[in-house]
Chain A
């Protein structure tokens, strides 16, 4: 009998216990985060001066559309009607946040209860199956929490970048690692095209990883099961619109899917807070923060971000940053 304690099954059970403790700690932290975020989202008035300043410091260096920047909803001084529209979106957000948190929490709770049930224990293969579902739920929660925290930091005027020299190829690799459980579950192969040399930019690695992750998760969620998601990084030389004849090197990151594509007339809308693609068809649920966070982050880096539809169907989201 003592030998059984050293068996692989016992190892799996011991590992499950560790996972359980970690997961419970994480869930406790999540609940605290929800409370803090709800307070932040509801209670903070918009004070965006640091973000605005950061963006304006960069505006000479980029060819971002100034009109679009000024209409971007991170900025204060909205008209009353727009404020009302924002309030409606905020109300929708509060209604959907319950669904977005409690659903993955349900999967986590159910998974953990199955794993710790000593009366009817899982065999190792079953445990792996349940852990995969728990892992997938954690990816969703992690992404949601990161976007909520970034969004509330923007709203509170506390959004800032920690700049360093980063290789966008490594940023993409980090984001892919996080998104892999979702891509695998939806049986979506990821096709990656990278330059041979480092694609260096001056950027905040964590924030840029979140941007790429948001684009990957959107591509996966809106694409049919089994269809490929494509991620491309290219270093290009472009003409500088600000100075005739001048040229500059940029790093372009693109994520393409085979989903329903985007209504291009509304493409500036989908980067706004609490707005989700394909609301009318209710294709997917979500709180509508991913693209808002992506756009704010890229603009704060002095870059550009946009979307276009692909020949043959699907959307291609891209952003560009100045290369080092």
Chain B
């Protein structure tokens, strides 16, 4: 699931990107308003995280331009805490407003909540899909009303990325980025990780829910 992150501060952009990628999202960074509009048009993200103080075109203008064309959820991430800015952003169509400094866990929770309201099936910090429930924070998964099964951090991130995109094939590169971040990993490591996760899920439900798309990647098909 793609998130367009519009933040001009490189360090903050890197930390937010890291946080969102670790939560299983694909992040498209943009560092000014004009680049944000170009990226939004070409990538059609599921959600936009948007700073207000931006070079070239400020966040209000970006918010207004996106909202005039689509209902893509927008979360404002800004140092401006005054009522004027908050009210103006919400009136322009922003779905949520987070004041800096912020907690990464709170940001991820807000992203999931906004996506849930937008109808993407993310529920209460947990991911649910066709009988499967994943709690990314506790790194536990269960099938229907069965026992919770603990996952390793890498397994949890892989399953989170797959469930966020349930029914769609994710490329190996996208999964590697979601699981290992920019440090990366080999396809062989991903293959091993899929093998381990697949075995654990199969033990819970008795069926294989991770489909291999040969030469491309994997999909969660429950």
Contact = CB atoms under 8 A, between A and B. Distances in A.
Interface stretch (B14-22, B65-73, B186-194): B14-22
Contacts of B107: 110
Contact of B79 (A102, A108, A130): A102
A102 B18 contact: no
Contact of B10 (A111, A126, A136): A136
A106 B102 contact: yes
B15 A130 contact: yes
Interface residues of A, number: 37
B205 to A, nearest CB: 25
Given A126-B183, A133-B14, A103 B137 contact: no
B11 A120 contact: no
A140 B11 contact: yes
B53 A119 contact: no
Contact of A129 (B105, B139, B181): B181
Contacts of B181: 125-126, 129
Interface string A90-119: 000000001100111111111101100101
B203 interface: no
Interface core residue of B9, B103, B139 (most chain A CB under 10 Å): B9
Contact of A99 (B14, B19, B53, B102): B53
Contacts of B104: 110, 113-114
A120 B15 CA distance: 16
A133 B55 contact: no
Contact of B101 (A110, A119, A121): A110
A interface, by DSSP: helix, strand, loop or mixed? helix
Given A104-B9, A105-B101, A282-B55, A110 B15 contact: yes
A130 B18 CA distance: 8
A68 to B, nearest CB: 30
Contacts of B213: none
Contacts of A132: 14
B12 A137 contact: yes
Interface of B: 8-12, 14-16, 18-19, 22, 53, 55-56, 58, 79-80, 100-105, 107, 137-139, 153, 180-183
15 contacts: A98-B80, A99-B53, A102-B79, A103-B9, A103-B79, A105-B101, A109-B102, A114-B15, A120-B153, A125-B181, A125-B183, A126-B183, A136-B14, A137-B11, A185-B11
Interface of A: 98-99, 102-111, 113-114, 117, 119-121, 123, 125-126, 129-130, 132-134, 136-137, 140, 182, 185-186, 281-285
Given A110-B12, A140-B9, A186-B10, 14 more contacts: A103-B79, A105-B101, A107-B14, A110-B103, A111-B15, A113-B105, A119-B138, A120-B22, A120-B153, A125-B181, A129-B18, A136-B10, A136-B14, A137-B9
